[in-house]
Amino acid sequence: MSRSIRGLALVLAAVLAAGACGGTGGGKHAADTASDTASDRASGTASGGEGTNQASWWRPKPRTTWQWQLSGRVDTSVRAQVYDVDLFETPAATVAKLKKAGRRTICYTSIGTAENWRPDFKRFPARVLGKNVADWPGERWVDIRRLDVLRPIWSARLDQCKRKGFDGVEPDWMDGYKNDTGFKLTARDQLAFNRMLATVAHQHGLAIGLKNDLGQIPQLVGVMDFAVNEQCAQYGECGKLVPFVKAGKAVFHAEYELPLSKFCATSRKLGLSSIRKPLELTAQRQACPA
């Protein structure tokens, strides 16, 4: 079951002051040497793109530091090599400012669900909308088997992501087959959907991350460029993410409840990029020491 909480972050954002919480700067900032070098681009791992060049998109490496902010005005002063921020809410000017400072950027967007506050919500026809997502008002599961419907919506979002200058994308709700969606989704359906997401992202020259969906890591580690995980330490699942690290790919990991002392040692041993965040995903951040 996905433990994504970004729906809560967006609901609470309305009552948070813009940029209310400053970053704690726990991560040690350095030149973006963890990003794609010329030799990395020449020798990269398997891609999921159709007719694309492996050298055409960024591939973050293990232990790359990151910031994840989906609520409030983006605090560009946080000392992290990568920023993961909302696709629709983040202005291109903010992305450009981060890029000028040497940061890489990831656009966050849900695609396994449809959110009625998004500007393209009307592009989801009623026939692909399923049950409401538990606890997230205004959000419904989508029928991921309908690639013919969802692929153009996804591609249009990635057009926007690319125009704004982002380097990668974090798709949310990539494990609908494990949830009560209103559709009879199978693991095979999910694999086809997630692979489609990777193909289209790579065609746009964007890196793509696997969000949660730990059970399908063996099948997807070859086509995804990094992983984003919530609470693997709290649930004793961090070891399942090691295939990404072994493949030379970053694992961006966040905990909400555990203190750093409970997971940083394990994170360092496994090679994860780990931080502690508030549930609202404001700018506040604690990072494991390097």
For residue 50, pLDDT beyond 50:
no
Q: What is the pLDDT of residue 19?
A: 34
250/228 Cα distance (integer angstroms): 9
Residue 244: Cβ within 10 Å count = 26
Where does the pLDDT of residue 186 fall: very low under 50, low under 70, confident under 90, or very high at 90 and above?
very high
Across the range 121-137, mean pLDDT stands at 96
Beta strands in the chain (DSSP E): 66-69, 82-86, 104-110, 113-115, 129-132, 139-142, 168-172, 207-211, 226-230, 251-255, 273-276, 286-287
Q: What is the pLDDT of residue 290?
A: 83
Looking at every residue in the chain, the average pLDDT score rounds to 86
pLDDT, one tens digit per residue, over 228-250 is: 999 999 999 999 999 999 999 99
4 or 91: whose pLDDT is higher?
91
Beta partners for residue 69, in sequence order: 85
For residue 78, pLDDT beyond 70:
yes
Where does the pLDDT of residue 55 fall: very low under 50, low under 70, confident under 90, or very high at 90 and above?
low
Domains of the chain: 6-12+56-287 (3.20.20.70)
Across the range 159-167, mean pLDDT stands at 98
Where does the pLDDT of residue 22 fall: very low under 50, low under 70, confident under 90, or very high at 90 and above?
very low
pTM of the model: 0.84
Q: What is the pLDDT of residue 171?
A: 98
Nearest to 241 by CA among 286, 271, 263, 264: 271
